[in-house]
Amino acid sequence: MISSVFQILGGLALFMLAMEMMTNGLKNAAGHHLRHLLGTWTRTPLRGLMAGFAITGIVQHSGAVTVATIGFVNAGLLTLAQSLGVIFGSNIGTTMTGWLVSLVGFGFKIEAVALPLLAAGVGAKMISRNPRNQFLGEALAGFALFFLGLSILKTALESLAGGFTGEGIISPDYGLAAYLALGLLATVLTQSSSAALAIVLTAAAGGLISLDNAAAAVIGANLGSTSTAALSALKATANARRLAIGHILFNVLTGAIALLILPGMLWLVALMTDGLNLEANPAISLALFHTLFNVLGAACMLPFTKPFARFLGRLFRSKEEDNAEPRFLDDTLVTTPELAIGAVDQEMKRLIGHSRGLLRVCLDREGLTGSDIRPKAEAIRSLNQAITDYIGRLRAEKMHLSVVDALTISIRTCRYLAEATELASRLMTLRELDRRTEFAEQADLLAHYLDTIRALVASDGPAPDLLADAETTYQHLKNSTLQMMVRRDVSTALGDQALDILSAVRRLNDQWNKALNWQAATEILNGARHQVPESENLQ
């Protein structure tokens, strides 16, 4: 008994090592192509599902695909709806492990094939100088160890089964819930649903667990696979946390349905096994069951991906996302532009206030990175686009000329603010330039330039004197940098980088100063004074 337990643990350790080697080898060998597939083949939820299935089938690790997807969502490269499709597909892709175990693992004498594969894989890893071939060798060695670990598990569980009688390793009084919990716990502890599935399929094939109990354990393993997503999203963005919740809800829903109709599912599995002329053994039946309930779950959820994404979008609302939502734009006013212009003006005040707050943060906050300001910038872009779209929907018939002029100024100002938002991060790089020893002789000029920009950002209206001061300082800095490049005080590359930063900040100053014309222009056109809030607590 004790010997069998240690044998099971050793087989499981070998199996998990094999899965890690297979995943790392295949992921590194085809890494660029997999990232391209995940980044560009996910425009719709259906295509996301296909991409998730393909990538998980290749790397044999749904957790790795889930973590990569969360990373893409964090970076803003995938929307929530697109990433949900990938998760649905990944759940189907992870069922490939069950088929690998059931069709290949129990079909022939494993050692006869595994040992030559191991030798070939290790040889390629050790001898080849081509990195791609080395990674493929690692994957091949992992593939061989996969079957050796499975062989050890099979032998140990068959031996252990001889020591049990009756219903199996858990008292029948506990029912299916105990096996479901067992599958879930095994996946959480090993952080690998594939390892848990291998144990369940091998135990069922060895007669240690009945088919219905093993099916419950498979459902539990499927639920446990969400732990990877939950751990990855703990310190991630709001969208990444929403994706983790979506993954959990999807797996819980599909698992609950499969458990409720378990007798019917097993009857359907038996019917399909006969119809497909598959060998009637518990491992194949469980692999088919695992695939069937994941495919049915994805088929049920796929048409509702966008509503599901909207529901998840209401969770973990951040301050930036709330700021991005228009508060005054009323669709009932689109037919009366004379009334709608008041709502547009209120949103323009918010947009200018948020933009000022972003620029101040970039000028004054220490230790900032591009990822720190990305949510604020995205909120401003979203609000900017909402205002522009709203103006475009206003009915143009019989629109008063003053309204046309006011809305034209608002759209033009939105464009100025959009460019200022895109360039805001260059203020941080300008501050970094100020701290570099290579530019020590420019320290006073750079400090004066930053102070002038701060005053310009704080201004309530156009500030031609400040803009002229900033322009003069820019020209001095540009000329000084060119002289340093000629004297080779700085490298050409570093000098070019500094000139690019200075040019971008100069453009930002110009766009911001133009945007400040909005208030004075709308006061004249609307006959009302508009006071722009400073930052709405964006700092």
Q: What is the per-residue pLDDT across 428-451, written as a single tens digit (0 to 9) for each?
A: 999 888 788 888 888 899 999 999
SS3 318: coil
Q: Rounded to whole angstroms, what are the CA distances from 244 to 72, 78, 135, 514? A: 13, 14, 30, 43
Mean pLDDT of the chain: 81
Contact 457, 421 (CB under 8 A): no
Q: Which CATH architecture has domain 326-526?
A: Up-down Bundle (1.20)
Q: Rounded to whole angstroms, what are the CA distances from 42 to 47, 70, 209, 328, 391? A: 5, 14, 40, 34, 31
End-to-end CA distance of the chain: 64
* pLDDT at residue 270 is higher than 80: yes
Q: Which strand (E) or helix (H) includes residue 469?
A: helix 464-486
* pLDDT at residue 161 is higher than 60: no
pLDDT tens digits, one per residue of 337-375: 888 888 888 899 999 999 999 999 999 888 777 777 888
Select the highest-mean-pLDDT range: 228-242, 358-372, 417-431.
417-431
* pLDDT at residue 165 is higher than 80: no
User: Is the dihedral angle over the CA atoms 381, 385, 386, 388 positive or is it negative?
Assistant: positive
pLDDT tens digits, one per residue of 301-336: 999 998 998 888 878 766 666 667 788 888 878 888
Cross-strand bridge partners of residue 168: 209
Please name the residues in contact with 331: beta carbons below 8 A apart, sequence gap of 6 or more: 393
* pLDDT at residue 530 is higher than 80: no
Please state, for a pLDDT cut of 90, what percent of the chain lies above it: 27
* pLDDT at residue 97 is higher than 60: yes
Residue 538: its pLDDT value, please?
42
Please name the residues in contact with 65: beta carbons below 8 A apart, sequence gap of 6 or more: 38, 52, 55, 56, 59, 86, 90, 93
Residue 143: its pLDDT value, please?
75
* pLDDT at residue 254 is higher than 70: yes
Residue 378: its pLDDT value, please?
87
Number of alpha helices (DSSP H) and beta strands (DSSP E) in the chain: 25, 0
Residue 534: its pLDDT value, please?
46
Residue 465: its pLDDT value, please?
93
**Where exactly does CATH 1.20.58 map onto the chain?**
326-526
Residue in the block written with tokens 């734009």: 329
One-letter amino acid of 202: T
Dihedral in degrees, nearest 10, Cα atoms 39, 40, 45, 47: -120
d(CA 346, CA 457): 20
Of the two residues 402 and 15, the one the predictor is more confident about is 402
* pLDDT at residue 104 is higher than 70: no
d(CA 102, CA 95): 11
Closest CA to 286 of 100, 16, 152: 100
SS3 101: helix
> pLDDT band at 159, cuts 50/70/90?
low
Chain-centre distance of CA 115, in angstroms?
Answer: 39
* pLDDT at residue 167 is higher than 60: no
Residue 529: its pLDDT value, please?
35
Average pLDDT estimate for 27-40: 64
* pLDDT at residue 106 is higher than 70: no
* pLDDT at residue 133 is higher than 60: yes
Read off the pTM: 0.59
Of the two residues 286 and 199, the one the predictor is more confident about is 286
* pLDDT at residue 26 is higher than 70: no
176: burial class by Cβ within 10 Å (0-12, 13-18, 19+)? middle
Average pLDDT estimate for 513-522: 86
Angle at 21 between CA 17 and CA 25, to 5 degrees: 175
Contact 150, 14 (CB under 8 A): no
Average pLDDT estimate for 396-424: 88
> pLDDT band at 536, cuts 50/70/90?
very low
